[in-house]
Amino acid sequence: MSKVTLSKTTLDVLKNFSTINSSIVFRQGSTVRTISNAENILAKFTGEEVFPTDFAIYDLSQFLSGISLFDNPKLDFTSDDFVRIAGAGRSVKYYFSDPEITLKSAPEKNVNFPGADIQFNLTADDLIALQKASAVYSLPDMSFQSKNGKVRLLLWDKENDTSNTYKQDIVGECTGDYSLDLKIENIRVLPGDYTVKVSKHLISEWTNTDVDLTYYIALEP
């Protein structure tokens, strides 16, 4: 099938992916990946749609904004050079980019996560509260802390000796006592509930509990 209709979930995920990297390379199949230019955020999503071919989009936000001009449009991938977006008698011919020249594409192989030293569930409300507190108190850093079997999240500014701090206790599991740091600005995940795994090897895994969607976010050295 050369025609695809994107679900609301897929459109929401792609909109989120545009905050990680403005460009994207789609691969044939149902799995979509993106990676930030700094290579410190990688995301993988598997949706219900099956893309019939590989293609690259240079400006993902523009591409999605164009799709939003139509009600329930169909994407026709008959051409190797462009996708035709059509609905209600209107259509747009949107040309692909050259992925070899203009784009950073995510690796196709899966991430080999080294194992969780801290693991917990984070609700959508908890995540929003953390992001709001980070903005209100100007706290750019988050520490995953575990001690004596208890887990908490700490917001702070590690460059400021007199930084305000914001703490949230979390029900979780750990393999020892750790304090592992992450930049709040790198938590560019789709709103929702997540299972979070943090490794002492400076990587974290965020798995959405409702959608086949996983983010790998690098920790700070």
Domain 3-102 belongs in CATH node 3.40.50.1820: no
pLDDT of residue 39: 95
pLDDT of residue 109: 85
- Report the percentage of the chain scoring pLDDT > 70: 99
- Of 29, 76, 28, 83, the C-alpha closest to 57 is 83
pLDDT of residue 128: 97
pLDDT of residue 113: 95
Is the model's pLDDT at 1 over the cut of 70? no
Tell me where in the chain the CATH 3.70.10.10 domain(s) lie. 3-102, 118-218
Calculate the average pLDDT of the chain.
Answer: 95
| pLDDT tens for each residue of 82-100 | 999 999 899 999 999 987 7
| pLDDT tens for each residue of 39-72 | 999 999 999 999 999 999 999 999 999 999 998 8
pLDDT range class, residue 220, cuts 50, 70, 90: very high
Segment 20-31 shows an average pLDDT of: 96
| pLDDT tens for each residue of 114-136 | 999 999 999 999 999 999 999 99
Regarding the domain delimited by 118-218, which CATH topology (the fold level of the hierarchy) does it fall under?
A: Proliferating Cell Nuclear Antigen (3.70.10)
